[in-house]
Structure 1
């Protein structure tokens, strides 16, 4: 009955002298709806583009280190930004966390979260900040992301290193990450980084499936312990990221 009433009103609108005005009104509404949809998609792409690029850089670095069992960092006697290898790893993490803060500032919960990609992004960020996945305290991570921002953008590498040398506040918040990297001689610390890497890898594959911004890379399941694979399958992909269907690429078989 409701459908018949709608079609009756629609037919009446197109009869007589009011038909042209009705067509014009509908055309305007459709045009504005399409324009709004395009603007929304453009805002989502803009907000996530930089995040994806920084994630891709971090994933590339961590995969390279994983293939070498993190020896380029483990064998360093100086785990500070005075060492170029350590500095590059720290910077890529901080750059990623800064881009996370930019996405947050732009209103992830309102604008971006209206799309499927936005909801997936939120799920990935929640996972990365969860207690058993994050590498350092959430407050320290967020502080580093905020401090690394300047004029609404992330500092470049040279700016970041210079600021660490000159700003005691930044150096203080950076200490937990420096200490974590200093513990990579321990298997447990390496496995934590590998689990973090897997989530980041799944993030770029899911949010940029055609790899227009990021690079497609194979996983490194052979570097994961059985305990890490179980944690990733049942907690990460089973709870936080249940929409990711190709998780075997990252963790391999459990048997």
Structure 2
């Protein structure tokens, strides 16, 4: 049989060839596509399974720091003026809330090693928050100390993640000298809060916690929306928040004026 090349529809042949080529290409890259979406799915699982506890712990911590700001840290530096019935008990509770917050962030680091959640926009923003909280300019303690305390507060990790209960925390401080010494690192900072620069550092740290809440729970489904204690912040702290924190560390924050405009 002779083919009349003048009458032959080459578009049909091209379609067959290109279609086959496309199929071969799809077969070649399909495992990579499947792997990409599978990794994103796992990243979302890690992120969202951990965020509820992180938001709850940060809500409790900011509430306590806001309360301390109203009493000008009297529970630590002027117990007679404390609004707490038991300033000593209040002090330990503050340490617990800080350790609890660090534990929730440390669990995210352990579970994801950051590489998986970095695939997601919210994951990258969460990593940026953690980096800020651990940065020399804003952290309460040395990065390694914050991580050690966070790890020490974790009873179970992974799917069974659980932070040490408050009662256990009080008992462990009494019975475990090593644990008590690590918690004393937080205690030293708060006992020095009579110094303006230390107190302001703690208050700025609290503002970062408030940003964390506003960003990851913008509709306040888990947390309670509170005012920022701007009246307690000195001008240099306001400038630090405005010109360094919001411009260079957490530039993606919406409504930045909430954190420095009275």
1:100 equivalenced with 2:109 (yes/no): no
Which residues of structure 1 form unaligned runs of 5+? 1-7, 14-29
Q: Deviation at 1:33?
A: 8.8
1:216 equivalenced with 2:221 (yes/no): no
Q: Deviation at 1:214?
A: 1.6
- Give, in whole Å, the separation in 2 of the partners of 1:143 and 1:104: 13
Indicate which of 205, 208, 212 corresponds to 1:203.
212
Q: Deviation at 1:35?
A: 8.2
- Give, in whole Å, the separation in 1 of the partners of 2:249 and 2:150: 23
What is the 5 A alignment of 1:243-254? Answer: 243-252=252-261
Give the TM-score normalised by the residue count of structure 2.
Answer: 0.79
Give the TM-score normalised by the residue count of structure 1.
Answer: 0.81
Q: Deviation at 1:133?
A: 0.7
- Give, in whole Å, the separation in 1 of the partners of 2:220 and 2:174: 36
**Quick check: 237-246 or 37-46, which moved more?**
37-46
What is the 5 A alignment of 1:23-38? Answer: none
CA contact (8 A) 1:44 1:111 kept: no
- Give, in whole Å, the separation in 1 of the partners of 2:133 and 2:37: 34
Indicate which of 194, 202, 205 corresponds to 1:193.
202
Equivalence for 1:43: 46
Which residues of structure 2 form unaligned runs of 5+? 1-14, 21-32, 81-85
**Number of matched pairs:** 240
- Give, in whole Å, the separation in 2 of the partners of 1:178 and 1:150: 22
Aligned residue for 1:106, secondary structure, equals helix
Equivalence for 2:59: 56
1:156 equivalenced with 2:165 (yes/no): yes
Equivalence for 1:67: 70
- Give, in whole Å, the separation in 1 of the partners of 2:178 and 2:79: 25
What is the 5 A alignment of 1:77-88? Answer: 83-88=88-93
Equivalence for 2:6: none
RMSD value, Cα: 3.3
